[in-house]
A = this chain, B = another copy of it.
Amino acid sequence: MREEIESIARKAREASYTLAKASSEIKNEALRFMAENLAENQEEILRENRKDLEKAAHKGLTGALIDRLTLNEKRISGMVKGIKEVIDLPDPVGEIIKMWRRPNGLLVGKMRVPIGVIGIIYEARPNVTSDAAVLCLKSGNAVILRGGSEAYHSNRVIVKHLREGLKRAGLPTEAIQLIPFLEREAVKHMLKLNNYIDLIIPRGGEGLIRAVTEESLIPVIKHYKGICHVYVDEHADLDMAIEISYNAKVQRPGVCNAMETLLVHNKIAPEFLPPMVKKFKEANVELRGCEKVRELIKGIKEAGEEDWSTEYLDLILSVKIVENIEEAIHHINFYGSHHSDAIVTNHYALARKFLEEVDSAAVYVNASTRFTDGGEFGMGAEIGISTDKLHARGPMGIEELTCYKFIIFGSGQVRG
C-alpha cells in the first residue's frame, strides 16, 4: 500500500508540471468535458452511489451521515453547475501581482503560480470530490483525493468521469487521482510524502483535522469548526439586531458560519432579549443562558462552561449578557474558533474597536455571519474556509490555491 500511494504522489508531481504550463483554454476545455461527462452519466453515478448507501444502511449509519452521502439528480446538477461556475472564474495563474523597478534597473515582480500537488482529505460527501478537483485543476494544481470510505464507490465513479475530461482535453489523467485504499493507514502514508505533496487540506470533523495535523509532514491549512458570535452592543438598532441574530442562527443552523453564541450588552438586554427570545422560540431554537439571562427570562436552561466552546450545528444557542465591549471581545477571542463574528452597533468608535480587536477570519459590523463564503464575498467557489493564519484565512478560493514566485528581468546586473 505504501508503495502504491507513493507512486500516486510521484505521478501527481509529474502531472503538476504539465498542469502548471497548461493554458486557460485547455483547462476550461477539460472542465467543460467534465461537466458533460457527469451530466451524461448520471445513471451510472446514482447506481454506484446506491452501493455506498446500501453498505451504509448495513452498517447502521445515522440519518445525517446517510443524507450527506446521498446523491440524487439535484445534487449531480449542483456538481455540474459548480463546474460551469469555475469555468467562468478568471485563471489566477500567471497574474503579475506587482512589479517594480530597482535603482540598478532590475525589474522585480511577483508572478502567481500553482502550488503544485494538493492533497484533500475529506469525509462522507461525494460532491466534495468534484468541487475540490475542479478548483485544483483551474488553479493549475494536481490533486490527490482521499474521501471517506463510506463514499468510495461514488467517489470512484465521479473521479473516473473527471479524468475522462482531462484525457479528452489532452491533459494527464494523473492530475486527478483518488487513493484507492480504505484503511486509515493510507492517510498516514500520504501525510509523509512531503517530497511530492505541497499542501494538505483536511475537510471534516474535529477528530479528522486533529489527526491530520498531528501526523502530517506536509503543510496543512485547516478548515476547522465555526463557533461564531453576534454581539449586540448597547448602541445597536434593535430591529436590526433581531434580524441579524435570527438570520445568523436560524437560516441554516448546520453550517460553520452560523451563530453559536449571542452576546448582549447588559444595558440593552432588558429591551432586546424578550422579543428576541420570543422569535427564537417560535423557530424552535433551544436557548442556554448565563445566570443574568436566566434572571431576566424565566425558563431558560443554564449554559455550562463547555457550552461557550461548543459548535452545536443545530437549533441550539447559548446566550450571555456582558458588561461592556471589552468583555465581549475577550469572550470571542477566548472561546471562539476565530471564524466569523459580528457586532451590531451604531457607535462608530466601538465598531472600529471590534473590527480591530476581534481575532477572526471574518469580522462584521451590522451584518449576519452567514455571509462568510467565497461566493457571497465575490471570490467565486471555495474549497473551504480557513481558520488558520498562514497563507489563507477565511474563504479559500482558486487564488488561495496559488502561490507566487519572484521573476527578475535584468540586463547583465551583478552584485557589488
Contact = CB atoms under 8 A, between A and B. Distances in A.
Given A219-B388, A378-B100, A405-B394, A412 B372 contact: no
Nearest to A403: B389
Contacts of A217: 213-214
A415 B213 contact: no
Contacts of A244: 412, 414
Interface string A381-402: 0000000111101110000000
A367 B413 contact: yes
Copies in the complex: 2
Contact of A377 (B17, B102, B366): B102
Contact of A415 (B100, B368, B411): B368
A408 interface: yes
A206 interface: no
A216 to B, nearest CB: 9
Contact of A408 (B252, B333, B367, B413): B367
Most buried by B among A100, A237, A248, A389: A389
Interface residues of A, number: 70
A107 to B, nearest CB: 9
A355 interface: yes
A406 B361 CA distance: 6
A12 interface: no
Interface string A106-137: 10100101011000000000000000000000
A67 B388 CA distance: 39
Given A116-B389, A363-B406, A390-B219, A243 B370 contact: no
A385 B63 CA distance: 50
A360 interface: yes
A181 interface: no
A377 B390 contact: no
Interface string A6-38: 000000000001001100000000000000000
Nearest to A379: B108
Given A367-B412, A413-B371, A393 B389 contact: no
A410 B361 contact: no
Interface in A126-162: none
B410 A367 contact: yes
B414 A365 contact: no
Contacts of A252: 415
B219 A415 contact: no
B219 A356 contact: no
Given A199-B389, A394-B406, 12 more contacts: A21-B357, A194-B213, A199-B390, A243-B412, A244-B414, A361-B405, A366-B411, A367-B411, A371-B415, A390-B390, A393-B406, A394-B405
5 contacts: A199-B389, A363-B407, A364-B408, A366-B409, A367-B412
